Amino acid sequence: MMISRFTGRAAILAGVAGLAALPVQAQDGPNGLQKFMLYRSFVQDADTCAVEVTDGTAAIAGINAVSGAATCPDAFAWAQLVNAVAAEFWTWGIDQTIWPESPLPLCSAEVTSNCCDPDAAPVQGDQPTQCPVFRADYDPISPLPATPNGKPAQGVINHRGLVPADEIDPGRLLRDLELELVFRNKSMTDYIYRNDLYSREGLGARNRAQNAAIKAGDIAGAHALEVRFPIDAVMVKVDFLHQDILMDQGLIQDIDGSDVPNNPDYPYLTVYLDGDGGEEQVPGYYYMLAMTNASKDLPTWHWYAVEHVANQGRCDYIGCNDSFGYAVNPTAQEGANFGTGFIPPKIELNDDKVTGNDPLFVSGEVYDPAETGEESTAELQALFQEMGIATAATDPDPRVISAEDPAWANYRLKGTQTTFTTATGIPTGMGATITEGGFVNSASCTTCHSQAAADADGTSTLAGVGSGWRPNLMGYQQVEMGAPNPSWFYGVGGPTVTATQIDFIWGILNAACQDPAGSHGTCTSYPDAPTIVSAD
């Protein structure tokens, strides 16, 4: 057994005070926006947090081990990230293979043929297309799809697009054009499969069975039908951008000695995707700009966002908060001391008046480590080395993702989220520049994903993913923050379960009907009760 331990929060880095400062006009003391960062800069990790590697797996060590995700959320995030990379998360199940386009029913005592059997051994070279699939179980592993959210308009290519919006929030432009893939580990894939959550019939049956139990007075049975993923369930959501987009936006360039353009100072992870043969495929090189990942170590999951260091607007609006992986100059922005774990959003003073001007956000700029003082801590460096992450001098193969690719060192923890609110009632939030482009300021992983629910027809019950009623000043729709609203899930007159929460998993939006010939978009028929399988 090998155990390596990386302990404590790094001290303030020597010499950071002499680094270039984040620009802001001269002022007497802190301004209003800097004070409001009180609500965004809460220190997440306890002073005693440590990570250890045992037999190739990173985990929180010592007294905090029993509550690592809650007590050491930042250190836990880095441990989860290196574990996912070491496990080659890019070979896991993806939404396109877990929720088939034409699913077969789950095999049962009543349905024994032309059905999906989760106990069937994988047949190599013959990956099923109508049942959930964990891609790593098959050889060869099925290719990843290459279907971006949208194709760029000619105005974008010629840099004559929606200039004000693109300059204020460049992450939104990239969000509209990204390729987003969600990878789910074996435990998560298996739970979805065995609990019949991969089709709309299965989702609808869960809701119908809950209400039938309540009607019959079997309250315990209604609770037993709640969806609760096992504690080792993990999902990794990756935002990729096609090479052409990054070239057109000036984010990468040709580099001497390399066949693949990249950022010469902070290279991106790259992968070549041929596509999976579906429609609207755009093959080519793709670059990883951000990740939003989660694990079921907490009832509301442990969430964390990762961004490439050169993402424009990386710390806009909400700042970047990391107690474990990177230490920064605490006074890089004149007027306030934010500690070594928080990068404040860039600001400037409104010059409409001679005195008493309000501070305003400056958005869409790069947060250069030369300004922020960012340097990786000794603890993170040791963790990467022990786990074999970013250990190569150069990318071994730009066509594939690999753990040893040195580009992993160019990604930063944006922040973590473990609750709906702080202990003092402040709604928590987290959003990545690309993933939540256009609504970073109100983004909340926990609140958004809490809305993932299905009604009696197996249909998502809300109009948008995490959506709320407020547009921001540019017109983009904002999302909900804070504790969920019970009316999203319950009708209090009965009571009834109007929507069965699917344990924070928006992948259910991909669920299709086994037989879609019903009216009003419903499936033809729904079983009365699902087969319930223990999370164990």
Please tell me the distance from the alpha carbon of residue 58 to that of residue 84, in angstroms, as a whole number. 10
φ/ψ of residue 273, rounded to 5: -115, 120
SS3 of residue 43 by DSSP? coil
For residue 26, the model assigns a pLDDT of 57
The pLDDT tens digits for 302-323 are 999 999 999 999 999 999 999 9
Kind of pairing between the strands at 284-295 and 375-376: unpaired
Closest CA to 284 of 334, 321, 325, 243: 243
Total domains present in the chain:
1
Assess whether pLDDT exceeds 70 at residue 5: no
- Flag the least confident range among 68-82, 261-275, 508-522: 508-522
Asked whether the beta carbons of 108 and 118 are under 8 A apart, the reply is no
- DSSP letter at 106 equals B
Q: Which two tokens stand for residue 267?
A: 């290279």
Q: Which two tokens stand for residue 380?
A: 């993170």
Please tell me the distance from the alpha carbon of residue 356 to that of residue 350, in angstroms, as a whole number. 9
Distance of CA 11 to the CA centre of its chain: 29
- Sign of the CA dihedral running 291, 134, 190, 97: positive
The pLDDT tens digits for 7-30 are 644 333 333 334 455 655 556 679
The pLDDT tens digits for 407-417 are 999 999 999 99
Most confidently predicted of 162-166, 182-186, 486-490: 182-186
Closest CA to 72 of 424, 379, 332, 328: 379
Asked whether the beta carbons of 95 and 183 are under 8 A apart, the reply is no
Q: Is residue 530 part of a domain?
A: no
Label residue 529 by pLDDT band (50, 70, 90).
low
Q: Is residue 195 part of a domain?
A: yes
Asked whether the beta carbons of 417 and 429 are under 8 A apart, the reply is yes
Please tell me the distance from the alpha carbon of residue 315 to that of residue 171, in angstroms, as a whole number. 11
Q: Is residue 531 part of a domain?
A: no
Q: What is the pTM of this model?
A: 0.92
Q: Is residue 532 part of a domain?
A: no
Asked whether the beta carbons of 355 and 31 are under 8 A apart, the reply is no
Q: Is residue 534 part of a domain?
A: no
Enclosing domain of residue 468: 3-521
Task: Report the pLDDT averaged over residues 246-258.
Answer: 90
Q: Is residue 536 part of a domain?
A: no
Please tell me the distance from the alpha carbon of residue 103 to that of residue 82, in angstroms, as a whole number. 34
Q: Is residue 215 part of a domain?
A: yes
Strands (E), 175-218: 179-184
Task: Report the pLDDT averaged over residues 363-386.
Answer: 97
Q: Which two tokens stand for residue 431?
A: 């959003």
Q: Which amino acid is at 325?
A: G
Q: Which helix (H) or strand (E) holds 79?
A: helix 73-86
Query: Comparing 462 with 498, which gets the higher pLDDT?
Result: 498
Side-chain half-sphere exposure of 400, counting CA atoms within 13 A: 12
Please tell me the distance from the alpha carbon of residue 371 to that of residue 324, in angstroms, as a whole number. 19
- Flag the least confident range among 10-14, 150-154, 519-523: 10-14
Asked whether the beta carbons of 305 and 435 are under 8 A apart, the reply is yes
Q: Is residue 187 part of a domain?
A: yes
Distance of CA 193 to the CA centre of its chain: 22
Asked whether the beta carbons of 348 and 362 are under 8 A apart, the reply is yes
**CA distance readout (Å), 114 to 72, 96, 107, 274:** 47, 20, 8, 31
Asked whether the beta carbons of 449 and 504 are under 8 A apart, the reply is yes
Mean pLDDT over each residue of the chain, to the nearest integer: 89
